[in-house]
């Protein structure tokens, strides 16, 4: 069991109803002389419904723990995504609903982790950093600013991230998959 104040974005919890919920947003609210509360936005893993829920700060929450399988992404066809288990070499097919927003990080020949609960896959975890090629970005304007500024860049997977002005199309950049941020040029 976990204190509600220790909830973090991305955690998966099991509520009283027995369903698994992913914490999408979390904010600790301390209103004046009242007790602190944890305001969350939760997404049910079963059907992707989203709900707002407020926990009291002293409330205890059960964190769900998963079995993890290392897999390599192979390809996708329609809404089905195909992976290969690295231990047994079996092919695993997952629907896009299981992967959710993580589909934007699926690149062939990259190792991912499938989390399963009760033998059923519930999540695909990408590596913490990915190296992606810049497809399009604005040109650098010399002397435009003396301070650190960023410009939008479209990556090979269609994502748009802010990058420093010296990045140009064709460069490969390292992206943090936890918060979709540019880390460095690869």
Strands 91-95 and 151-155: unpaired
Confidence of residue 121 (pLDDT cuts 50, 70, 90): confident
Give per-residue pLDDT as tens, 76-111: 888 889 999 988 889 989 888 777 777 888 888 889
The tens digit of pLDDT for each residue in 47-77 reads 778 889 888 888 888 888 788 889 999 988 8
Task: At 167, list the tokens.
Answer: 């990045």
* pLDDT computed for residue 61 by the predictor: 87
Element (H, E) at 71: strand 67-77
Give dist(CA 103, CA 146) in Å, integer.
Answer: 37
Q: Is the pLDDT of residue 146 over 60?
A: no
**Global confidence as pTM:** 0.67
Which range among 20-24, 65-69, 172-176 has the greatest average pLDDT? Answer: 172-176
Which of 31-40, 66-75, 140-149 is most confident? 66-75
Domains of the chain, each with CATH number or no CATH: 2-63 (2.30.30.30), 67-125 (2.40.50.140), 129-185 (2.40.50.140)
Q: Are 185 and 174 in contact (CB under 8 A)?
A: yes
Closest CA to 107 of 81, 145, 86, 88: 81
166: tokens are 């010296």
Label residue 18 by pLDDT band (50, 70, 90): confident
Does an H or E element contain 114, and which?
Answer: strand 111-117
DSSP state of 105: G
């Amino acid at each position: 069991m976990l204190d509600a104040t220790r909830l973090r974005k991305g955690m998966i919890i099991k509520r009283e109803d027995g369903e698994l919920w992913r914490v999408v947003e979390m904010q600790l609210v301390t209103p004046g002389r009242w007790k602190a509360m944890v305001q969350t936005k939760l997404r049910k893993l079963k059907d992707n419904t989203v709900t707002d829920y407020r926990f009291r700060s002293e409330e205890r929450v059960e964190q769900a723990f998963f079995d993890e399988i290392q897999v390599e992404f192979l390809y996708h066809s329609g809404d089905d995504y195909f992976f290969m288990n690295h231990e047994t070499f079996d092919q695993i097919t997952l629907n896009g609903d299981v992967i959710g927003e993580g589909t934007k990080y699926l690149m062939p020949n990259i190792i991912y982790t499938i989390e399963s609960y009760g033998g059923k896959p519930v999540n695909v975890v990408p590596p913490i950093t990915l190296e992606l090629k810049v497809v399009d970005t604005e040109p650098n304007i010399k002397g435009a600013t003396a301070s650190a500024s960023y410009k939008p860049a479209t990556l090979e997977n269609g994502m748009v991230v802010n990058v420093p002005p010296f990045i140009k199309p064709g460069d490969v950049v390292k992206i943090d998959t936890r918060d979709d941020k540019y880390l460095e040029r690869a």
